[in-house]
């Protein structure tokens, strides 16, 4: 900042230096929230602060912050450790930093920022948070006290409860931070809509010094909606198994529970809303096992497998892909009995045919060609048939937006552009085919090793 010089009365004629404008510089680039926050899942107070606590990684915080709020400003050496009590779902944040100052972008209110993630679950005092391991030990037990126990799905290791109504809303509000952190592309369900159901998978826990209590392993949120005229459909909207219990068969258990409920209550079908690859793999393996034991499909499956074994791949036409699918009567039998919809059946059919081919190498060329045609049809569809057509606006006395002319054309520039793009399109299609073949093989291998 400039300083004003002082002078005597005899030198008033001397010109005074001009004032300089004060210029502020932004010296704080901030730190990404994801780079300074660690989140741990704990089930005992002894695990809080322990190096053995289960760390969530990686984490995605984009759900919680607008793009311009994903960086924290005003802190040097900022580190935030958050512990989530998986018994009651309360959270506590331990915040540390070397210093704090305004570097031109203000100082982020960390409490407000963390509440964007954990909302009402966030506990300010550590002692209060530690007490939740005892005071809230029976939280899950209270939630399921009036819920329906699905007796058919109960084992010595775990129980499954169906929760609806007000208890669903109270439980789900505590689960929202975990859902947004752990379920890709998720949004909170509308807990005021009575059509939602939660299937809660729990296990018994006990300690020599504490009473027996229940702990959540995972849950599935299912929407039940009417199908005209007198039926209902079940749609799996969200499914989550806590990370420390994943790869132990609990997700498989939840999917099987939903299948059994759909059959027992005779709904129209069970669908899944935009399943992730991992969920689709589990679902496909389960359904392939069910289909292998379903007698009505065996004749149609054997027919497709035999045709593939006998045909010459060089003489196969593109239209043959339509023949390698179950007949409509089989599709309907599967839907009525197993509650598997057509789209899922067609995906399982690829695995079933693959298994029917053993698989033997000499049959794989024809099989891969069938898969390639199906992938191409799924990706390109009818758009592949509109090349050489153009829509052109023309002068008209009628509504301009409702008037056009379509004609075929063949100009050299477009043809050249098509030639340049074709190689890239084929390369991308082959990558998709490779990925689909990999998925089929993974499912087939999983089913093959089942006892």
So which residues are the catalytic ones? 273
**Tokens 């409920």 correspond to what residue?**
261
Helix (H, G, I), strand (E, B) or coil at 260: helix
Q: What is the dihedral sign for C-alpha 52, 54, 58, 59?
A: negative
Closest to 359 in 3D by CA, of 309, 430, 401, 287: 309
DSSP string, 194-223: TTEEEEEEEEEEEETTEEEEEEEEEEEEEE
Maximum distance among all alpha carbons in the chain? 117
Q: List % helix, strand, coil for the chain (3-state, nearest 5).
A: 45, 20, 35
DSSP string, 309-340: HHS-GGG--GGGGGGSS--HHHHHHHHHHH-B
**Tokens 């210093």 correspond to what residue?**
99
Q: Is 23 left (phi over 0), alpha (psi -120 to 50) or beta?
A: beta
Give the whole-angstrom CA distance, residue 267 versus residue 339.
Answer: 7
């Amino acid at each position: 900042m400039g300083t004003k010089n002082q002078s005597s009365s005899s030198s008033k004629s001397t010109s005074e230096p001009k004032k300089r404008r004060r210029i502020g510089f932004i010296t704080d680039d901030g730190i990404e929230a994801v780079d300074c926050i660690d989140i741990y899942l704990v089930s005992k107070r002894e695990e809080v602060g322990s190096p053995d606590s289960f760390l969530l990684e990686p984490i995605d915080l984009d759900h919680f912050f607008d793009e311009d709020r994903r960086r924290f400003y005003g802190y040097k050496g900022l580190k935030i450790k958050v512990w989530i009590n998986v018994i009651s779902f309360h959270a506590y944040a331990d915040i540390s930093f070397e210093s704090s100052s305004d570097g031109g972008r203000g100082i982020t209110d960390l409490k407000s920022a963390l509440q964007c993630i954990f909302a009402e679950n966030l506990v300010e005092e550590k002692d209060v948070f530690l007490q939740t391991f005892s005071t809230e030990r029976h939280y899950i037990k209270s939630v399921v006290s009036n819920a329906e126990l699905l007796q058919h799905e109960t084992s010595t290791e775990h129980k499954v409860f169906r929760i609806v109504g007000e208890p669903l809303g109270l439980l789900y509000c505590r689960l929202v931070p975990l859902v947004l952190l752990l379920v890709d592309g998720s949004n909170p369900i509308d807990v005021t809509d009575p059509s939602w159901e939660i299937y809660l998978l729990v296990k018994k826990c006990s300690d020599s010094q504490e009473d027996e209590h229940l702990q959540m392993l995972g849950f599935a949120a299912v929407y039940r909606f009417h199908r005209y005229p007198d039926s209902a459909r079940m749609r799996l909207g969200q499914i989550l198994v806590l990370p420390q219990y994943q790869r132990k068969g609990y997700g498989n258990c939840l999917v099987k529970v939903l299948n059994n409920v759909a059959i027992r209550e005779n709904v129209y079908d069970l669908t899944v809303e935009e399943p992730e690859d991992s969920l689709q793999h589990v679902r496909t393996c389960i359904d392939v096992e069910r289909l292998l034991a379903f007698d009505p499909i065996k004749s149609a499956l054997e027919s497709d497998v035999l045709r593939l074994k006998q045909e010459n791949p060089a003489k196969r036409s593109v239209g043959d892909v339509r023949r390698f699918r179950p007949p409509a009567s089989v599709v309907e039998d599967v839907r009525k009995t197993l509650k598997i919809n057509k789209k899922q059946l067609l995906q399982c059919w690829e695995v079933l045919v693959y298994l029917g081919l053993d698989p033997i190498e000499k049959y794989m060329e024809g099989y891969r060609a069938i898969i390639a045609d199906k992938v191409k049809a799924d990706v390109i569809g009818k758009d592949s048939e509109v090349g050489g057509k153009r829509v052109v606006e023309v002068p008209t006395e009628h509504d301009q937006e409702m008037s056009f002319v379509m004609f075929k054309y063949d100009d050299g520039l477009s043809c050249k552009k098509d030639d340049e793009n074709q190689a890239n399109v084929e390369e991308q299609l082959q990558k998709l085919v490779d990925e689909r073949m990999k998925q089929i093989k993974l499912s087939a291998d999983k089913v093959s090793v089942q006892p």
